[in-house]
Structure 1
Amino acid sequence: MLSKIFPSRYKLLAAFISIFLVFSFILRVCFLIWSITQTNNSFFVLIGTFIVGFLFDIGTVSFFALPYILYLILVPKKLYGSLFDKIITYFGYGLGITIFLFSFFAEITFWLEFERRFNFIAVDYLIYTFEVVKNINESYPIPLLLSAILIVLFIIIYITKRKNIFKITFKNGTTFKDKLLPTVVVISIALVFGLFVKNINAEQFNNRYNNEIAKTGIYSFFAAFRSNELSYTEFYKTIDDSLAFNIVKQKIKAPNSLFLEPDKKEIYRTLTHADSINNPELKPNVIFICIESLSAEYLNSLGGNLNITPTLDSLSNKSLFFTNLYATGTRTVRGMEAITLSIPPTPGRSIVKRDKNQGLFTIGEIFKQKGYTSSFFYGGDGYFDNMNNYFGGNGFNIVDRGRGFLLDSNVNTKRTNINDDEVTFENAWGVCDEDIYSKVLKEADAAFLNEEPFFNFIMTTSNHRPFTYPEGKIDIPSGTGRDGGIKYTDYAINNFLKQAKTKPWFSNTVFVIMADHCASSAGRWNLNIDKYRIPAMIFNLENQSPQKIEKLSSQIDMFPTLFALLNWDYTSNLFGLDIMKMTKKDERAFIGNYRNLGLLKDRQLMVLSDQKVVNYFEWETDNDNLIPKDVDSKMLEETIAFYQVADYLYRNNGLKLKN
């Protein structure tokens, strides 16, 4: 078909397009095979998946063909085969094929990690080249893979030459008139896709995997690059702002709360818990361990059977253990947003990575109200994902493995480096968990000597690909997979607590342990509920008996619950509730990804998607299946209210500290 459209002068361009289409088809087949148990494999759906994919491949390759097609029509016949023509042609062909091959390899690694085509995560990763390249190098045999790419490139060029495609391209009598048809075809396709076709148009199926397989990675990447943030009011269903605030205030109010300015579009309120006689305020040190990528399913105490978390399983019997708590998102920065701001997820990027993310009312402000010093500990360079500027810009001291990246000039905070002599093991994402805990112990000792109550926020890194850690610590070899990463993470927590128990500050220190998100959010649905369930516990709290709390709750509720347990009176701008005081009607969880925003209540899931799409499901917990239902208008209104108010507050500085 291509040969009929393209005359002799366009022979190489036809080969270039054909190669892209063939490799893209092969990649699509590979993704289908890897995800065969998750896809809808009915005949017509699979055929539709590949047809949609082929159309997006055509649109994608048209953008790459555009510069060369313009070159071909502009270069006169007398220059065919000249040195200039050969240099341009060989260089463009080689570069284009190299980009294709590299992108296909990158897509494979991305799919293995996220089971999705390129999205905004891939765009973000471009900013943090050091960590990403080092992680890929530690996770995959890069020299071998690069060699394979070069070999395939050489083979393609060799076959192209053997078939005389270069010769035909350089020696022909194609006239300007002959060149008009292919030029018009390529330009027309590129214009249609550039102006009218969006990446979301590939999502023609109910199954998420079919939608992802139908996409083209390069096209998805540039679509994500253009729309890294989504305007809630433009893309999602809305209600009147005043109504939205009224609904949210009704849902978050409590007998012990009082809104400061109830007529304004804000949620600032005072919360009263203390009773000087029966329930005095407690002011223990607080150490929060945020565990990288730990799904509930990996803990025996939450239904797993892998026997790789003995420490956490043991602690679950000695703690307030929240067995039905859900992360708000699928990335570390989304977890940090939920934990520190206690806010439902807003569409697009996490607030941690956005503008206007400093001087906010975070949990650090509440600790500050109580006289605490707050510190953020990270084993890598906190420049990654903008963590240092976010935490530093919101009152936290920074302790990280910095490599010289400076904080924003408007961030006035103390930054402490993890020195070389404090490191026993390090990979792409930072020092091992044992090393970060050793640094925490040193800083806690110093704070204790200065008689300063402290709040330490620790972000672990060892449970992250490439899953490498010090040898000889556990019975799973380093770098062999996630099970080893989890078991080492658990081992490091055990070692940390053993050392902490020898410290004079231990008896007056509460340990809060919770994951940032699950190991994977991939599933058949855009929001697979069970993929958001995470472990959470509060350990070593004075006068608090161990207890399992089975109430449906959210990551945003953890610190409001802790503040209530400590009997603190404070001013709040947080959405979270006290889980211990929740009634059945209060129970809910917010779960989302960068485009889909969900509210889960009593096995009913309402999902808001861009293009103002709404879906309502009943959750079958036994098989994690979602059954579509007619939309419940009352729950829809509540779902819209929470997400609309969260977005409104961010965009109108309602998350900022009050003067």
Structure 2
Amino acid sequence: MIKEKIYKYIYLMIISLTILTLLRLILFVSYESDFSSLTTMEVIYSFLTGIRVDIVSITTSIGILVLLLFAPFKFTDNKLFLKVIYYSWFFVFSIICFIIIADIIYFQYVHRHMGNEVLAMNKDDNLLIIDMIIEYKYIMLSYLIAMYIVFKLFSNIINKEFPTQSLGYAKRFGIFLLVLIFIVANIRGKLTGKPFSIADAFVINKIASGNLALNGFYTFYRTISKKQKLYKFYPYKEALSTTKGLLKSNKFKFIDDKYPLQRQYIQKEKVKKHNVVIILLESWSSKYIDSFGNNNLKVTPNFDYLSKNGISFPNFYANGQRSIEGITAIYTGIPVLTEFHSLGKGLELSNLSYIGNIAKANNYSTIAMQSSKGSSFRVGEISKIAGFDEYYGAEDMPLLGDEDKNKKPKFGTWDGNMFKFLNFKLKTMKEPFLSFAFTATTHAPFVSPGQRWEPYPHDKINIFGFLNTLNYSDDMLGEFMESAKKEPWFDNTIFILTADHTIGFGNDKNMFKNTNIKIENRDLENQRIPLVIYAPKILKPKIIKKIGSQVDIIPTIIDLLSWNASIGTLSNSLFDDSSNGFVLFSNSQYFGMVDNSGYVTHNLKNKLESTSNENIEKKALSIYQVSSKLLRANILYKEMK
């Protein structure tokens, strides 16, 4: 019976994959303009990646059935049992096809695949699946006819006689183990590393490629774990008006009512071809940096020098509390608010104004790297989606520093190795260039690179360990800047240094006896991070007290360089005196907003805290309501041609 089971599994899988490929072809033909940016080879690559997505989708759905099919027990050879398994496969597959067909219909409204937002649809929503089924009854009828044909194909295979072979229990058990490994590998999409994800489907650095490779069933179940709700705090027009008021600026103008938050930069000067180097510093919190926290910790002398001789922003905040949220904010200008998805978790399904793509549209070379391994946070795949043509992780970087050879950082390589590699790669980049580099050594647990960087008693899990690794990372930053000053590209370069998020205070007040650090007001202070823009040959040193956050970096760069660009961000330039400075931040339980009047935190049901006498709650809820609606409908941003 084993041979028969193998034959039938192969035939049924071929039928299933063929049907899903045909559905992908229907998507391609139906929305040809959405995929017009793809070359013939890119279309082929996308279809091949789509087969991989389909294998993961099918195996995830029927994996348990296949394991039961090959279970090493005699009852699994019973004909009735086998028919139940095979026809259950058909039943599950018909559901997959139904969801994909509904997704193809859905695609015309949002020009991306469905995610878990469909769970939040209500009867008033124009995109409700049940309404589409009624409206597209002929398509549903075609689906039923097609499924009948597929049923017949399945039945022919199920009832067909194949060569049989009886095996002993030991061999059957061995085959079962092999099948188990095979199923797990197919569900993961790969044997090693992190499982295949939505971001992995973007094999070509184009949104169209990912949309062609993915299917609606896969994107739905991959995002289903975090159910989103539709929130309507105010009438939509009122909420939109409030949101536009927050984003109003003399430097950007709204350009399209269909994409109500998309804005075009108002160029008043020619494009400036300055290089841009963005350095994202792991867990660097304002309170631990003397030039920002005034706490006399003496572990960041190099950063303090850059702050003194650059433009510093003391009222700058992280939009989230995780690294991927900081990366998402910088790459897209969109904060990962409560119940929102980050890049790598579904946000990339929407059309976004990525920083790398904007740079390339202005004839910039692009490169990204991180001290962590390439698979960490899927930054490699995400960076490609965001428009970075080159990407490097820890595995690409040689060990060149003086760190303790008997120790190894928990995540990737030492920051010193990355900074040396960054300097080496920038020498080879065509100017002007945009680079992004993300450090890692200051991530817990705090592995010390050596005693020379330990001004405090070292501990891997408390704040002293962090301060020691912070001292090391600052030293490596200083070495990088000194090396960069010797390069011909330095004088024409703007360095942007900030953090991904903060690190906590700890609860031991004795640690802070000789500092100004206070444990009070954690909600706000746990978001405050440094920002320094350093360009000694281009920008004069000063302090800008405007409130800002990571999402402001895209419009700030556009403003500094006078790029020709349109954006769909929830932010403005930090150099824009005409706009309102505000910050949106969140953790998994609540989100908040900061502006000049104070701050508010909210759990989407109730206001939690507020220090503002103004109606900051309305501003926060309005921009949340509008941005979530526009992201869900994929009308936050449209690429300009």
Q: TM-score range by the shorter chain?
A: 0.5 to 0.7
Asked if residue 229 in structure 1 is aligned to residue 226 in structure 2, the reply is yes
- Structure-2 change in CA distance of 1:464 and 1:380 (3 Å): same
Aligned to 2:214: none
Distance 2:452 2:506 in 1: 31
Would you say the 8 A contact 1:311–1:493 is kept in 2?
Answer: yes
- Structure-2 change in CA distance of 1:570 and 1:401 (3 Å): closer
Aligned to 1:297: 287
Asked if residue 251 in structure 1 is aligned to residue 231 in structure 2, the reply is no
- Structure-2 change in CA distance of 1:487 and 1:603 (3 Å): farther
Aligned to 2:377: 385
* Structure 1 segments unaligned to the other structure (5+ residues): 1-126, 133-224, 404-416, 620-628
After TM superposition, the structure 1 stretch with the greater mean CA deviation from structure 2, 322-331 or 337-346, is: 337-346
Distance 1:422 1:656 in 2: 44
1:79-101 per-position Cα deviation (integer Å, ceiling 9, x unaligned)? xxxxxxxxxxxxxxxxxxxxxxx
Would you say the 8 A contact 2:325–2:335 is kept in 1?
Answer: no
Would you say the 8 A contact 2:399–2:417 is kept in 1?
Answer: no
Aligned to 2:154: none
Task: Say which SS state the counterpart of residue 348 (structure 2) adopts.
Answer: coil
Would you say the 8 A contact 2:355–2:387 is kept in 1?
Answer: no
Q: How does 1:78-477 map to 2 (within 5 A)?
A: 229-233=226-230, 236=231, 238-261=233-256, 263-275=257-269, 280-302=270-292, 303-348=294-339, 350-357=341-348, 360-401=352-393, 417-418=396-397, 426-447=408-429, 451-471=430-450, 473-476=452-455
Distance 1:402 1:561 in 2: 29
- Structure-2 change in CA distance of 1:245 and 1:487 (3 Å): same
Task: Say which SS state the counterpart of residue 260 (structure 2) adopts.
Answer: coil
Aligned to 1:582: 577
Would you say the 8 A contact 1:521–1:532 is kept in 2?
Answer: no
Shift of 1:491: 0.5
Distance 2:469 2:372 in 1: 16
1:608 to 602, 606, 613: 602
Asked if residue 500 in structure 1 is aligned to residue 484 in structure 2, the reply is yes
1:491-511 per-position Cα deviation (integer Å, ceiling 9, x unaligned)? 010010011111111111111
Aligned to 2:531: 536
Task: Say which SS state the counterpart of residue 334 (structure 1) adopts.
Answer: helix
Would you say the 8 A contact 1:377–1:399 is kept in 2?
Answer: yes
Distance 1:230 1:526 in 2: 30
Distance 2:330 2:388 in 1: 14
Shift of 1:522: 7.8
Would you say the 8 A contact 1:229–1:348 is kept in 2?
Answer: yes
1:405-443 per-position Cα deviation (integer Å, ceiling 9, x unaligned)? xxxxxxxxxxxx335789976422111111011111121
Shift of 1:603: 4.6
Would you say the 8 A contact 2:338–2:588 is kept in 1?
Answer: yes
- Structure-2 change in CA distance of 1:475 and 1:636 (3 Å): closer
Would you say the 8 A contact 1:330–1:520 is kept in 2?
Answer: no
Shift of 1:616: 4.2
Asked if residue 645 in structure 1 is aligned to residue 626 in structure 2, the reply is yes
1:320-339 per-position Cα deviation (integer Å, ceiling 9, x unaligned)? 10011111111111111111
1:512 to 481, 493, 496: 496
Task: Say which SS state the counterpart of residue 427 (structure 1) adopts.
Answer: coil
- Structure-2 change in CA distance of 1:565 and 1:330 (3 Å): same
State the identity %.
Answer: 24
- Structure-2 change in CA distance of 1:226 and 1:569 (3 Å): closer
Distance 1:521 1:586 in 2: 30
Aligned to 1:50: none
Distance 1:581 1:329 in 2: 23
Aligned to 1:188: none
- Structure-2 change in CA distance of 1:511 and 1:486 (3 Å): same
Distance 1:594 1:639 in 2: 16
Distance 1:386 1:240 in 2: 38
The normalised TM-score by structure 2 is 0.58
What letter corresponds to residue 552 of structure 1 in structure 2? I
Aligned to 1:151: none
Aligned to 1:42: none
Aligned to 2:556: 561
1:526-566 per-position Cα deviation (integer Å, ceiling 9, x unaligned)? 97101111110100154421001112222211332232122
Shift of 1:360: 2.9
Would you say the 8 A contact 1:274–1:568 is kept in 2?
Answer: no
Aligned to 2:34: none
Distance 1:595 1:289 in 2: 29
Asked if residue 617 in structure 1 is aligned to residue 610 in structure 2, the reply is yes
1:95-134 per-position Cα deviation (integer Å, ceiling 9, x unaligned)? xxxxxxxxxxxxxxxxxxxxxxxxxxxxxxxx999999xx
1:293-322 per-position Cα deviation (integer Å, ceiling 9, x unaligned)? 011011111222211111111111110100
* Structure 2 segments unaligned to the other structure (5+ residues): 1-187, 195-221, 508-518
RMSD: 3.2
- Structure-2 change in CA distance of 1:129 and 1:499 (3 Å): farther
What letter corresponds to residue 380 of structure 1 in structure 2? S
Task: Say which SS state the counterpart of residue 369 (structure 2) adopts.
Answer: strand
Equivalent pairs counted in the alignment come to 404
Would you say the 8 A contact 2:374–2:380 is kept in 1?
Answer: yes
Distance 1:469 1:397 in 2: 33
